[in-house]
Structure 1
Amino acid sequence: MAAWPYCTTQWKKLRKAKLAHNPLCEICERRGLLVEAVAVDHFVPIRQGGAPFPELSGLLSLCEACHNEKSAGFDKHGGAAFRRRFKGFDADGNPIDPFDAWHGEGVLQGRGSPSSGTGGN
Structure 2
Amino acid sequence: MERQRKPERRANSYRRGYATKRWRDYRERYIVDHPFCCVCERKGREVPTYAVDHIKRVTGPQDPLFWEPTNHQPLCKTCHSRKTAKYDGGFGHKRKEYDENS
Bin for the TM-score computed over the shorter chain: 0.5 to 0.7
Number of equivalences:
82
Residue 46 (str. 1) matches residue 58 (str. 2): yes
* TM-score, normalised via structure 1 length: 0.58
TM-score by length of 2: 0.67
Counterpart CA distance in 2 for 1:4 and 1:24 is 24
* Residue 17 of structure 1, CA deviation: 1.6
Q: What is the alpha-carbon root mean square deviation over aligned residues?
A: 2.5
How far has the Cα of 1:50 moved from its partner? 6.3
CA distance in 1, matches of 2:71, 2:97: 17
TM superposition outliers: structure 1 runs of 4+ over 3 Å: 47-50
The gaps in structure 1 that reach 5 residues or longer are: 84-98, 102-121
Mapped partners of 1:79, 1:33: distance in 2: 26
Q: Does the alignment pair 1:5 with 2:17? A: yes
- The question of whether the paired residues in 2 share the 8 Å contact of 1:14 and 1:53 is answered with no
